[in-house]
């Protein structure tokens, strides 16, 4: 699919997709009408068609996520839906359930969801062998692991570079299902990782109390883009199919600028066309975030958690230096404005917030003063003026075109060439009446032929090769311009890259001979797929109704002991003793530590 470097943006609906494309996304991914891993972000076939229609002129690709586990009675519906999606022209289908590969699928490129746990060379090699066009790599991988996968495979590699982090290994987390019946593998995760927990040892001694011990900061790999390109990544993915348009516009705009600078430096190209002109200065800190981490991409694994709150803190603006009856004084200069939202932690370590009513220098008059004390660190979690810029007018995206007006035996011809090399020409029949004022006539010609404001194009250069300028009516110039643009649009569509891909039904050996419930086999077709590829024993998925008591429900490379500076395992050379995580409802989860590779396993009560 890829012939360059792709910036891939999330879209919960058509309006967000259009905002992402305007701000510079090379591709967008949206939820299918059903069976998406974000159940609340599904889209109708007609909505997806609307996105495709907007994306096509820019050569922006549209991928659809149909990446949940399916039951036997859902497979026929999924098969029909995939046929509909193929007919409207999607560029790729993101899937998790291998049962789909046993169906009669159209030749749509398949993308292996990160829910398939694409974390080893052997797994990626297998997916390539059975016909996947791309794999979305596990978020847990390091740069060196990505480099090694690239060295031993040729399939396209996609990785997450920004957004919320699941603490559990994607596709292998059953915690939500185990405690409440809502499965992340079915698009219904209740996010138990964002709840409060206490950490205790085997003797009941409390090591950490009532904190969000499993809540991670948001991923931000903006400082590692060059290294990821060098490691072999071709698609850079922003997480956030539940996020609003301002968040997506801001994040896409930020990474578009970063990537464009790198591509120019490295002599690489992007996969879509058009220059985005932003009406704002992008800054990820000014929209939703829990603080940022690179999640150990380059090695360091500490300071990755957001233990005080799973909510957006926004940007730090200052510390309260003094409090008066109806206002507080910040300790330095700031740029708070009326209508901004601010937040802080109160004496109970709860995140509290209010709105700003008025600002006078360093004095801030909030809607309410409750909880604001000297020494409080104030964050802005809603920037009114910044977000006001992130509307449908936040960006304009235009495709560059050069024009050439020249003489022919029949009169004049106007040709155009766009930034992708597409060309079109129209003839202009002219009278022989010379222009009375040649300079004014040339100016009129230039003005009318380059007036492309209501099109997708912007003219960067008009070259005129005319010896004797004749009078050309404005209406004739306008008609020629419109015809040229129409033909250019037709040429763009004719040469638009078409995705190709097909599953190869073979018997290549799967890397494992035995699958537990973490193999996520929920239907007979998935079982048949694995049997054909040499798997000998298959336990059904947790969602089949398994009793998960005492079994692993979450695996993570994150270590709560390392984060709390309680780690003893690596220094002593032995694994740390198991601990207990107790949630808000009194449920006790055993935590086992993996002190070689570093990480944890959490077992259901």
pLDDT in tens, 555-571: 999 999 999 988 876 55
Provide the phi-psi class of 597: left if phi over 0, else alpha when psi is between -120 and 50, else beta. alpha
Return the CATH number at 382: 2.40.30
How many helices (H) and strands (E) in the chain? Answer: 14, 29
Question: What is the domain count for the chain?
Answer: 4
Tokens coding 84: 């509909």
Check whether residue 358 and residue 415 sit in a common domain: no
**Domain containing 71 — which CATH number?**
3.20.20.60
Pair 158, 272 in one domain:
yes
297 is a domain residue: no
Residues 435 and 473 in one domain: yes
Token readout for 335 is: 């740029």
Phi, psi angle pair for 66, to nearest 5°: -125, 65
* Residue 287, domain member (yes or no): no
- Residues listed for the chain: 605
Q: Is the CB of residue 316 less than 8 Å from the CB of residue 377?
A: yes
Residue 11: give the domain boundaries: 6-165+218-282
pLDDT per residue over 271-286, tens digit each? 999 999 999 999 999 9
Q: Give the tens place of pLDDT for each residue, 94-133.
A: 999 999 999 999 999 999 999 999 999 999 999 999 999 9
Whether 46 and 194 share a structural domain: no
Confidence (pTM)? 0.95
Which phi and psi angles does 360 have, rounded to 5°? -130, 95
Average pLDDT over residues 383-401: 93
pLDDT at 570: 55
pLDDT digits (tens, 9 = 90+) for 5-59: 999 999 999 999 999 999 999 999 999 999 998 888 899 999 999 999 999 999 9
Mean pLDDT of 318-347: 96
The answer to whether residues 511 and 123 touch, using CB atoms and an 8 Å cutoff, is: yes
- Residue 567 in any domain: the answer is yes
d(CA 115, CA 124): 13
Q: Are residues 178 and 154 in the same domain?
A: no
Confidence at residue 229, expressed as pLDDT on a 0 to 100 scale? 98
Assess if residue 122 is contained within a domain: yes
Contact predicate 239/221, CB 8 Å: no
Q: Say if strands 235-238 and 341-345 run parallel, antiparallel, or are unpaired.
A: unpaired
Q: What is the reported pLDDT for 70?
A: 98
Residues 532 and 604 in one domain: yes
Kindly tell me if the per-residue pLDDT of 71 is higher than 70.
yes
Q: How far apart are CA 578 and CA 174, in angstroms?
A: 20
Taken in order 270, 276, 281, 283, the sign of the CA dihedral is negative
Mean pLDDT of the chain: 94
Q: Clarify whether residues 211 and 261 are in a common domain.
A: no
Same domain flag for 571 and 549: yes
Residue owning tokens 């024009």: 403
User: Once rounded to an integer, what is the mean pLDDT over residues 241-257?
Assistant: 97
Largest CA distance in the chain: 101
Mean pLDDT value across residues 208-237: 97
On whether both 135 and 62 belong to a single domain, the answer is: yes
- Stretch among 29-43, 257-271, 535-549 having the lowest mean pLDDT: 29-43
Q: Indicate whether 300 belongs to any domain.
A: no
Q: What is the pLDDT of residue 575?
A: 63
* Predicted pLDDT at 433: 77
Q: How confident is the model at residue 500 (pLDDT cuts 50, 70, 90)?
A: confident
pLDDT score for 299:
80
Q: Looking at residues 364-371, what average pLDDT do you find? A: 96
Residue 27 is assigned to a structural domain of this protein: yes
Residue 352 lies in a domain: yes
Secondary structure class of 437 (helix, strand, coil): coil
pLDDT in the model for residue 516: 98
Residues 210 and 67 in one domain: no
Residue 432 above 70 pLDDT? no
SS3 of residue 494 by DSSP: helix
Q: Which pLDDT band, with edges at 50, 70 and 90, does 216 fall under?
A: very high
The pLDDT value recorded for residue 218 is 97
Q: Where residue 391 falls among pLDDT bands split at 50, 70, 90?
A: confident
For residue 409, what pLDDT is reported? 86
Taking residues 436-461, what's their average pLDDT? 93
pLDDT band at 1; cut points 50, 70, 90: low
Residue 378 inside a domain? The answer is yes
- 257 Cβ neighbours under 8 A, 6+ residues apart: 282
Half-sphere exposure of 234 (CA within 13 A, CB side): 16
Residue 210 has pLDDT above 60, yes or no: yes
**What is the reported pLDDT for 430?**
75
Which tens digits make up the pLDDT trace of 189-203?
999 999 999 999 999
Contact 605, 587 (CB under 8 A): yes
pLDDT value at position 502?
84
For residue 445, the tally of other CB atoms under 10 A from its CB is: 22
Cβ atoms of 123 and 95 within 8 Å: the answer is no
Cα–Cα–Cα angle for 593, 187, 213, nearest 5°?
30
Which of 348, 365, 389 marks a domain boundary? 389
Same domain, 21 and 137: yes
- At 229 the three-state DSSP class reads helix
Output the pLDDT for position 392: 81
> pLDDT tens-digit profile of 578-594?
999 999 999 999 999 98
Position 436 scores a pLDDT of: 84
Q: How far is CA 380 from CA 105, 292, 312, 337, 520, in A?
A: 49, 16, 9, 10, 42
Same domain, 129 and 277: yes
Of 366, 389, 412, at which residue does a domain stop?
A: 389
> In 3-state terms, what secondary structure has residue 191?
coil
Domain boundary pick from 495, 517, 549: 495
Cβ neighbors of 304 (< 8 A, separation 6 or more) are 165, 216, 217, 293, 295, 296, 558, 563
């Amino acid at each position: 699919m890829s012939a360059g470097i792709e910036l891939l943006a999330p879209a919960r609906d058509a309006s967000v997709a259009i905002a992402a494309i305007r701000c510079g996304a090379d591709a967008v991914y949206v939820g299918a009408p059903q069976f998406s891993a974000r159940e609340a972000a599904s889209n109708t076939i007609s909505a997806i068609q609307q996105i495709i229609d907007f994306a096509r002129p820019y050569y922006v690709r549209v991928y659809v996520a149909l990446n949940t586990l399916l039951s036997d009675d859902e497979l026929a519906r999924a098969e029909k839906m995939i046929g509909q999606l193929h007919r409207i022209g999607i560029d790729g289908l993101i899937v998790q359930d291998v049962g789909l590969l046993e169906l009669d699928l159209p030749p749509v490129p398949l993308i292996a969801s990160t829910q398939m746990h694409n974390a080893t060379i052997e797994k990626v090699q297998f997916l390539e062998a059975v016909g996947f066009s791309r794999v979305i790599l596990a978020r847990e991988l390091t740069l060196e692991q990505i480099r090694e996968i690239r060295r031993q495979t040729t399939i396209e590699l996609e990785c997450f570079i920004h957004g919320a982090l699941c603490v559990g290994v994607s596709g292998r987390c059953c915690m939500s299902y185990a405690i409440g019946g809502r499965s992340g593998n079915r698009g219904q995760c209740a996010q138990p990782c964002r709840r409060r927990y206490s950490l205790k040892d085997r003797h009941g001694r409390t090591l950490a109390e009532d904190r969000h011990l499993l809540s991670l900061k948001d991923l931000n790999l903006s400082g590692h883009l060059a290294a990821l390109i060098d490691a072999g990544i071709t698609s850079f993915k922003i997480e956030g199919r539940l996020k609003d348009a301002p968040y997506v516009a801001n994040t896409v705009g930020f990474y578009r600028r970063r990537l464009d600078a790198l591509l120019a430096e490295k002599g690489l190209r992007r996969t879509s066309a058009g220059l985005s002109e932003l009406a704002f200065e992008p800054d990820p800190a000014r929209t939703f975030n829990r603080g940022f981490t690179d999640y150990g991409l380059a090695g360091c694994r500490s300071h990755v958690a957001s233990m005080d709150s799973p909510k957006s803190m926004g940007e730090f603006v200052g510390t309260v230096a003094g409090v008066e009856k109806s206002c507080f004084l910040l300790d330095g200069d700031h740029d708070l404005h009326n209508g901004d939202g601010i937040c802080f932690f109160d004496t109970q370590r709860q995140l509290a917030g209010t709105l700003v009513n008025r600002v006078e220098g360093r004095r801030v008059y909030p809607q309410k003063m409750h909880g604001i004390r000297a020494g409080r660190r104030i964050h802005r979690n809603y920037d009114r003026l910044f977000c006001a810029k992130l509307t449908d007018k936040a960006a304009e995206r235009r495709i560059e075109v050069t024009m050439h007006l020249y003489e022919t035996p029949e009169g004049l011809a106007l040709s155009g060439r766009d930034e992708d090399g597409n060309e079109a020409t129209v003839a202009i029949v002219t009278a022989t009446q010379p222009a009375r004022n040649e300079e004014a006539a040339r100016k009129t010609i230039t003005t009318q032929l380059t007036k492309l404001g209501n099109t997708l194009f912007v003219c960067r250069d008009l070259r005129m090769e005319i010896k004797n300028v004749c009078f050309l009516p404005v209406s004739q110039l306008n008609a020629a311009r419109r015809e040229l643009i129409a033909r250019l649009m037709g040429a763009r569509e004719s040469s638009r890259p078409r995705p190709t891909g097909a599953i190869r039904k073979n018997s290549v050996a799967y890397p494992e001979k035995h699958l537990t419930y973490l193999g996520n086999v929920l239907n007979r077709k998935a079982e048949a797929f694995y049997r054909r590829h040499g798997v000998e024993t298959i336990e059904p998925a947790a969602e089949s109704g398994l009793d998960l008591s005492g079994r692993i429900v979450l695996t993570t490379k994150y270590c709560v002991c390392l984060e709390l500076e309680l780690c003893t395992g690596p220094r002593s050379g032995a694994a740390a003793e198991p601990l207990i995580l107790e949630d808000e409802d009194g449920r006790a989860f055993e935590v086992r530590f993996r002190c070689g590779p570093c990480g944890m396993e959490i077992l259901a009560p």
